[in-house]
């Protein structure tokens, strides 16, 4: 499917307005080259910049989100070993990172492909809670915004358009069936139901001890 057709299909599955991306660097980063050689060149460029930040500052201040592209780009190249290495590197380098939904979706797929069934299921559950619309969209379901507190733009249905369409093409029928089985399983359904219930309560709840407890509970569901 061509990119224009994919975006048209995506918009037809979204019932809420899709925000337009205004950041030029962000747009360019998430438009992937077609040629494998250029993809590898881009990966090396991101790695050089991240290493340079670490060398200069002692930490990586990756405001643009380059770290979230390394693993997925290797998956696009069908290089599972390097993809896994990048996902592990990010986890070690950024232990408190809040994550990015598209990156987590690719991470779950990589773990599934390498046979880490427990890790893949945990990562898919985390992906489901980072953006509750992402897995339904992956499975071809129509997405409708739920009236609840979303917490950030990453959690909104409109964020789906910011996820590179190549990420969805990585999922073959077997992988989608695996994701669908887990998504409709009792453990996933129970966690999702509670997560949505909490965020419905948070929508109009003023700051205070009860809100703090609910936010903490919602966070614990992602672990």
User: Domain 3-184 belongs to what architecture?
Assistant: Alpha Horseshoe (1.25)
pLDDT at 28: 59
DSSP H stretches of helix in the chain: 3-13, 24-29, 36-57, 67-76, 80-93, 101-113, 117-130, 134-138, 165-169, 173-183, 186-202, 209-221
pLDDT tens for residues 117-129?
999 999 999 999 9
Query: Per the structure block, which two tokens stand in for 125?
Result: 């559950």
In the predicted structure, residue 198 carries a pLDDT above the cut 60: yes
Q: Can you tell me the mean pLDDT for 80-95?
A: 96
For helices 101-113 and 80-93, angle between their N-to-C axes, nearest 10 degrees: 130
Query: Per the structure block, which two tokens stand in for 107?
Result: 């991470």
In the predicted structure, residue 10 carries a pLDDT above the cut 60: no
| Other beta carbons within 10 Å of 134 | 25
| pTM (2 d.p.) | 0.87
Domain locations along the chain: 3-184
């Amino acid at each position: 499917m061509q990119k224009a057709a994919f975006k048209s299909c995506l918009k037809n599955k979204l019932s809420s307005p899709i925000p337009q991306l205004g950041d030029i660097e962000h747009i360019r980063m998430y438009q992937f080259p077609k040629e494998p050689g250029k993809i590898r060149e881009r990966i090396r460029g991101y790695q050089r910049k991240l290493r340079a930040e670490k060398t200069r500052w002692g930490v990586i201040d990756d405001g643009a989100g380059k770290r979230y592209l390394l693993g997925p780009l290797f998956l696009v190249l069908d290089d599972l070993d390097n993809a896994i290495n990048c996902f592990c590197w990010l986890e070690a380098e950024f232990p408190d990172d809040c994550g990015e939904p598209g990156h987590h979706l690719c991470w779950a797929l990589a773990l599934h492909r390498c046979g880490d069934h427990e890790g893949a299921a945990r990562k898919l559950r985390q992906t489901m809670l980072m953006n509750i619309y992402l897995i339904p969209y992956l499975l071809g379901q129509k997405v409708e915004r739920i009236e609840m507190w979303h917490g950030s733009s990453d959690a909104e249905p409109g964020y789906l358009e910011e996820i590179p369409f190549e990420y969805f093409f990585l999922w073959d029928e077997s992988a989608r069936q695996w994701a669908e089985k887990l998504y409709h399983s009792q453990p996933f359904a129970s966690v999702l139901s509670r997560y949505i219930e909490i965020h419905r309560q948070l929508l109009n709840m003023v700051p205070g001890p009860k809100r703090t407890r609910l936010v903490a509970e919602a966070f614990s569901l992602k672990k």
